[in-house]
Amino acid sequence: MGPRRRVLKNSAAEANQFRLRSAIAFACVMLALAGLGFWYFRLQVWQHDDYATRSEANRIKLRPVVPGRGLILDRKGRVLADNVPAYRIEVTPFEAGKSETWLPALGKIIALTPEDIARFEDERRATRGYKPITLKLRVTEEEAARFAVDRWRYPGVDLVPYLNRRYPYGELLSHVIGYVGRIDADDLKELGEGGAALTHIGKTGLERYYEEALRGKVGYEQIETNVDGRPMRQVGHVPATPGADLRLSIDLDLQQAMVTAFGDMDGSAIAMDPRTGEILAMVSLPGYDTNLFVNGISNVDYRALMDNPSRPLFNRNVLGGGPPGSTVKPLIGLAGLDSGLRTPESKVFSTGTFYIPGQKRGWRDAHGGAGWTDLRKSIAASVNFYYYKLAYDMGIERFDEYMRKYGFGDKTGIDLAGENKGVVPSPQWKRTRSKEPWYAGETVNAGIGQGYWIATTLQLVRGTAAIANGGHLVRPHLVAERRDGYDTPWVPLKQPEAPRITDNANNLRAVQEGMMATMGPGGTGRAMAAGAPYLMAGKTGTAQKISRKGSQSFDPHSLPYHLRHQALFVGYAPADNPTIVVAISVEHGGFGGSTAAPIARKIFDAWLLGKMPEPVPTDPKYTRPAQPHAAPVVAAAATQGAPVVPILPTPRAVVATPPAASGTTQAQPQPPQPQTQTQTPPQEPTR
């Protein structure tokens, strides 16, 4: 190898290279520092609010505050629906983890039914994991104490206080007040995101109709938590707005009198103030204990109610209906006067059987021939012949027009959901049901409240009130006043203007006199009015379930129970200054005069004289199956501080109606099947 070649250093070039590298390194450092500063500036200034909110959310949790549901009181201030303190167990699945790890142990502390667990699992699968799900309602104080000791073992499981709905008079007002129930998926869709904090919602009755007012508005609490998510203190809140209180026109004493007057019989009844439309009492019997449904009814109790042939869950006043029988004769008579076809003094000669010209088949009168009959006598003695001929002369088109004017075939507007419109017989209605033509015989049937007629007790009491008050078709309503806050005054609810059913006072007076004569000598309601210290007016009625065969008539009391006729009565008192009007329908009652009218007398006496009826002895002919009842509750004191008079329902003898015709257990009454002109028309028996 040759000698190494010596490389001469260029100090100037090395220095320049060092300075260049130093400048690049310095620039990179400065650029990194600038980027870091910019990033800090972005976090601390531009996005400060966002990250401050996120940080606060880790420390502060919003806890919804469910408002107290509004109270429901009767006209005298007695509490009919209130709230009592209770506890429930809520689980947040995301925090609690798999239920298999904690649920068995929790079940040893708190009694959990298979239904509670199944409901929880269904909701857990259907909702997001970070939303609390109610595992059990109405936790006892003992269970709450046991859980509080071992609370640390169950992350995501909380004991939450709440107000539980209670109905001190349960069965007595079951079809009026209704009940609240646990919120389901359909309810949440309707309520939206704001309803997630709620556990109960009105399901039936006034609880459903006035749900928005009774519910109030949800508030929130701001709770500071530690690193484990445990609450430490409250740092702020948005107060909840309590629900509005409702004062009903219902009188609890009269409600009890109405139930007692029915005894063991099934049916419906309404008492109303004809001057204002305020419902004073309203029953659908049998009823049921609404407390069973508040926190979820058991399968056993629900099946017992559903299998009961008397259908205690069916609201006969709102959803029911049937042929009104002779109770519509006063209004049909008024239609004859206002249409000009009759005058109060016009008479027809009742031979006992009415014949349509050109036909041999006749329509009989249950009383036989009544001779010369005018309007007043036709009402008092319930002469069918008069109304057969009147309906035939009027024609079905005009008949339909007047009946609709009197409120039939349409809703009354009562503040309860699901009201049945009923049916007024007409060719148009029949065409929608079948392809058969309208027959003249069907018009004759309609004249005595039979045939295709479906009228509700609400429609009957409203039409009768129009006769009593001088011709005003008032709106029946249950809620009289409302207040939005305990220290605010009660505000009456405005009612719509009542249309008039007639402008001829003389015609209306003639009808009133006919209804008063019904209660006098020779009238079908004379036995009811015996010994009364006040005047009354009314009309008995009987709606048939089966027709006669040929010339053979049936004694309703000799028929099997499920085939007996419906007993009806409408009336008002005192006749010279009416303050109460009633409509009564007794299922399988037989005669209106002997079954429904005595019930009306007891209701009149209770309202006008303060005389409470004695319990009716059990009818030995039938017994009703027992119904489930929740644990008895004692009437709570009114929030105003006034003492509450505990009026508990008189025990109704429970009867077991033998499984009868399928028509007696249908969910909703259906109109009779169309009949041809050659069929025997229904005849109304003695009333």
Residue 329 phi/psi, 5° resolution?
Answer: -60, -40
Over residues 110-118, mean pLDDT? 85
Q: H or E stretch including 12?
A: helix 11-41
Q: Which residues of 396-418 are buried (b: 16+ CB within 10 A; e: fewer)?
A: beebbebbebbbbbebbbbbbee
Query: What phi, psi does 374 have (nearest 5°)?
Result: -105, -175
In the predicted structure, residue 552 carries a pLDDT above the cut 80 = no
Please state which of the ranges 147-151, 337-341, 464-468, 660-664 shows the lowest mean pLDDT.
660-664
Q: Rg of the chain over CA atoms, in angstroms? A: 36
Residue 682: the pLDDT is: 42
The answer to whether the CB of 567 falls within 8 A of the CB of 595 is: yes
pLDDT recorded at residue 617: 65
Contact in structure between 482 and 209 (CB atoms under 8 Å): no
Span 490-507, average pLDDT: 95
Ordered alpha helix ranges (H), 339-423: 375-380, 384-394, 396-405
146-155 long-range CB contacts below 8 Å, 24 or more apart?
146/109, 146/110, 147/89, 147/106, 147/109, 147/110, 150/109, 153/102, 153/105, 154/96, 154/102, 154/106, 155/95, 155/96, 155/97, 155/229
Residue 7: both structure tokens together? 């490389």
Structure confidence by residue, pLDDT tens digits, 447-475: 999 999 999 999 999 999 999 999 999 99
Contact 671, 323 (CB under 8 A): no
Residue 430's pLDDT is: 92
Residue 93 region by backbone torsions, left for phi larger than 0, else alpha for psi between -120 and 50, else beta? alpha
- In this predicted structure, the answer to whether residue 667 has a pLDDT above a threshold of 50 is no
CA distance linking residue 107 with residue 99, whole number of Å: 11
Task: Spell out the residues 6+ positions from residue 302 whose beta carbon is closer than 8 angstroms to its own.
Answer: none
Residue that wins the pLDDT comparison between 9 and 361: 361
Average pLDDT over residues 510-532: 94
What is the reported pLDDT for 161? Answer: 85
Res 649: pLDDT: 38
Write the pLDDT tens digit of every residue in 334-391. Answer: 999 999 999 999 999 999 999 999 888 899 887 788 899 999 999 999 999 999 999 9
Do 592 and 541 meet the contact criterion of CB atoms below 8 Å apart? yes
Question: What is the average per-residue pLDDT within 590-615?
Answer: 89
Across 508-513, average pLDDT: 97
> Beta strand pairing status for 231-238 and 219-225?
antiparallel
pLDDT band at 44 (very low <50, low <70, confident <90, very high): confident
Mean pLDDT confidence for 434-443: 91
235-269 pLDDT tens trace: 778 888 899 999 999 999 999 999 999 988 899 99
256 close to 647: Cβ distance less than 8 angstroms = yes
Largest CA distance in the chain: 161
Distance between CA atoms of residues 55 and 62, nearest Å: 14
Active site residues: 326
Tokens of residue 184, six digits: 């389901």
β-bridge partners, 537: 572
For residue 11, which amino acid is it?
S
Using a 10 angstrom Cβ sphere, with 0-12 exposed, 13-18 middle and 19 or more buried, the burial of residue 242 is buried
Q: pLDDT grade, residue 212 (50/70/90)? A: very high
Report pLDDT for 457: 96
Query: Quick one: pLDDT at residue 516?
Result: 97
As a whole number of angstroms, the distance between CA 316 and CA 587 comes to 10
Question: Residue 211's pLDDT is what?
Answer: 94
Q: What is the 3-state secondary structure (H, E, C) of 465-518?
A: HHHHCCCECCCCECEEEEECCCCCCCEECCCCCCCECCCCHHHHHHHHHHHHHH
Quick one: which of 247, 148, 128, 192 has its CA closest to 490? Answer: 247
Amino acid at 176: V
User: What span, in angstroms and rounded, lies between the C-alpha atoms of 516 and 566?
Assistant: 23
pLDDT at residue 553 is higher than 60: no
Residue ranges per domain, the chain? 64-248, 255-609
Q: CA 470, CA 468: separation in Å to the nearest integer?
A: 6
Q: Which amino acid is at 349?
A: F
Residue type, 427: P
CA 71 to chain centre: 16
Q: Of 492, 476, 498, whose CA–CA distance to 413 is shortest?
A: 476
The Cα 263–Cα 570 span in angstroms is 19
Q: How confident is the model at residue 169 (pLDDT cuts 50, 70, 90)?
A: very high
Domain 64-248 classification at class level: alpha beta
pLDDT at 232: 72
Q: What pLDDT is stored for residue 676 in this prediction?
A: 35
Q: Supply 604's token pair.
A: 């009149």
Question: Which of 247, 244, 70, 78 has the alpha carbon at shortest distance from 642?
Answer: 78
Mean per-residue pLDDT, 578-602: 88
| Tally of CB atoms within 10 A around 37 | 10
Task: Quote the tokens at residue 407.
Answer: 């409120």
Strand-pair partners of 423: 454
What pLDDT sits at residue 120? 86
DSSP 195: G
Average pLDDT, the chain: 83
The more confidently predicted of residues 546 and 141 is 141
User: Any idea which of 158-162, 292-296, 678-682 has the lowest mean pLDDT?
Assistant: 678-682
Two structure tokens written together for 406: 């009197």
- Could you tell me the two tokens for 648? 């508990």
Joined tokens for residue 655: 């009867």
Q: Taking residues 312-316, what's their average pLDDT?
A: 94
Q: State the pLDDT at residue 183.
A: 86
Q: Is the pLDDT of residue 96 over 60?
A: yes
Cα dihedral 385, 386, 392, 397 sign: negative
Pick from 311, 279, 245: nearest CA to 176:
279
Q: For 175, phi and psi rounded to 5 degrees? A: -90, 0
Cis peptide before 286 (omega within 30 of 0): yes
> Which element (helix H / strand E) includes 134?
strand 133-139
Specify the pLDDT at position 102.
87
641 has pLDDT over 80: no
Q: 285: which 2 tokens? A: 């019997």
Fold that domain 255-609 belongs to in CATH: Beta-lactamase (3.40.710)
Q: How far is Cα 180 from Cα 290, in angstroms, rounded to an integer?
A: 9
Determine the straight-line distance between the first and last CA of the chain, rounded to whole angstroms: 146
Strands 245-248 and 157-166: unpaired
Q: Are strands 537-543 and 566-573 parallel, antiparallel or unpaired?
A: antiparallel
- Distance, in Å, from the CA atom of 46 to the CA atom of 27, rounded to the nearest integer, reads 26
Question: Residue 446: helix, strand or coil by DSSP?
Answer: helix
Taking residues 581-602, report their average pLDDT: 87
Give the tens place of pLDDT for each residue, 388-418: 999 999 999 999 999 999 999 999 999 999 9
Percent of the chain topping pLDDT 90: 51
Flag whether pLDDT at 443 surpasses 70: yes
pLDDT of residue 194: 66
- How far is Cα 264 from Cα 561, in angstroms, rounded to an integer? 13
Q: Do domains 64-248 and 255-609 have the same CATH topology?
A: no
Least confident among 220-224, 380-384, 451-455, 531-535? 220-224
CB 419 within 8 A of CB 482: no
